[in-house]
Chain A
Amino acid sequence: MKRLKRSLLVQYVLIILFATMILPVSMVGLSIVFYNTLYKEESVDRLYNGTDLEEMWHRTAKGLEQATEKEIRDKFGQLNEVYTDANLYWVDAQGMTRVMFPANLSVREQWSATDAIQFMKDHRGLTTDPFTTVAFLGDQGINGFIVFQLPRSDMESPSDKLRAQYNFLFPIALLTVFGVFILISTLFFYRIRKRLLHLQEAMSISDQSGIPSPVAVSREDEIGRLELSFNRMVQEVEEGRLRQIEEEELRKELIANLSHDLRTPLTTIRGHAYRLQQEQLSEKGMESVKLLDEKIKYMDGLIDNLVSYTLLTTGKYPFHPEQIDIVRLVRTSFAAWYPVFENLQFTMELDIPDRQIFWQADPQWLGRILDNLLQNIHRHAADGRFIAIRIQEETLVIEDHGPGMKSKSSFQGVGIGLSIVSLMIKEMNLAWDIQTTTQGTTMTIRQRQRSYTNEH
Chain B
Amino acid sequence: MRTILYIEDDREIGRFVKDDLESRGFSVHWLLSGEGADKSLAKADLVILDVMLPGLDGFTIGQRLKRKQGDIPILMLSARTAVDDKLAGLQFADDYLTKPFHPDELAARIDVLLRRSGKDSVEEIELGHLRINLKENRIETIAGEEILLTAKQHQIFTYLLRHPNQILTKEQLYEGIWQESYQEGDKTLQVHIRYLREKIEKDPSQPTIIETIRGIGYRVKQ
Residues of A within 8 A of B (CB): 252, 255-257, 259-264, 266-272, 274-275, 293, 296-297, 300, 304, 307-308, 311, 317-318, 325, 327-328, 331-332, 334-336, 338-339, 350-352, 354-356, 364
Q: List 12 A-B pairs, Cβ < 8 Å.
A: A266-B100, A267-B13, A268-B12, A270-B102, A272-B16, A274-B102, A318-B83, A331-B169, A335-B166, A338-B213, A338-B216, A352-B215
In terms of DSSP, what is the predominant structure of the interface of chain A?
Answer: helix
Evaluate whether A331 and B102 lie within 8 angstroms (CB atoms) in the complex, with A263-B79, A267-B13, A268-B12 already known.
Answer: no
- Alpha-carbon distance between A263 and B98 when the two chains are bound, in angstroms: 9
Does B103 contact A304, Cβ atoms closer than 8 Å?
no
The closest CB in chain B to the CB of A262 belongs to B79
- Alpha-carbon distance between A263 and B170 when the two chains are bound, in angstroms: 36
Return the 10 tightest CB-CB contacts between A and B, nearest first: A350-B215, A263-B79, A335-B167, A267-B100, A271-B16, A267-B99, A266-B100, A270-B100, A307-B81, A260-B79
Does A267 contact B84, Cβ atoms closer than 8 Å?
no
* Residues of chain B contacted by A355 (CB below 8 angstroms): 184-185
Does B13 contact A268, Cβ atoms closer than 8 Å?
yes
Q: How many residues of B contact A (CB 8 A)?
A: 38
Report B81-122 CB contacts with A as 1/0, cut-off 8 Å.
111110100000000001111111000000000000000000
* Residues of chain A contacted by B99 (CB below 8 angstroms): 263-264, 266-267, 300
The closest CB in chain B to the CB of A353 belongs to B184
Residue in contact with A308 in the complex, picked from B78, B83, B216, CB distance below 8 Å: B83
Evaluate whether A267 and B83 lie within 8 angstroms (CB atoms) in the complex, with A272-B16, A332-B172 already known.
Answer: no
Residue in contact with A263 in the complex, picked from B100, B103, B167, CB distance below 8 Å: B100
* Residues of chain B contacted by A252 (CB below 8 angstroms): 84
Q: Does B165 contact A (CB under 8 A)?
A: yes
Does A335 contact B217, Cβ atoms closer than 8 Å?
yes
- Alpha-carbon distance between A260 and B80 when the two chains are bound, in angstroms: 4
Residue in contact with A356 in the complex, picked from B104, B184, B217, CB distance below 8 Å: B184
Residue in contact with B184 in the complex, picked from A300, A307, A327, A339, CB distance below 8 Å: A327
Nearest Cβ on chain A to B195's Cβ, whole angstroms? 21
The closest CB in chain A to the CB of B23 belongs to A278
Does B217 contact A331, Cβ atoms closer than 8 Å?
yes
Report B145-158 CB contacts with A as 1/0, cut-off 8 Å.
00000000000000
Does B100 contact A339, Cβ atoms closer than 8 Å?
no
The closest CB in chain A to the CB of B85 belongs to A256
Does B12 contact A335, Cβ atoms closer than 8 Å?
no
The closest CB in chain B to the CB of A331 belongs to B169
Does A259 contact B80, Cβ atoms closer than 8 Å?
yes
Does A271 contact B17, Cβ atoms closer than 8 Å?
yes
Evaluate whether A335 and B81 lie within 8 angstroms (CB atoms) in the complex, with A270-B101, A352-B215 already known.
Answer: no
Given pairs A272-B16, A307-B83, 11 additional interface contacts (CB within 8 A): A252-B84, A256-B81, A262-B79, A267-B101, A269-B100, A304-B82, A318-B84, A331-B215, A339-B167, A352-B215, A355-B184
Report B15-34 CB contacts with A as 1/0, cut-off 8 Å.
01100100000000000000
Q: Does B168 contact A (CB under 8 A)?
A: yes
* Residues of chain B contacted by A336 (CB below 8 angstroms): 167
- Alpha-carbon distance between A432 and B206 when the two chains are bound, in angstroms: 40
Nearest Cβ on chain A to B163's Cβ, whole angstroms? 11
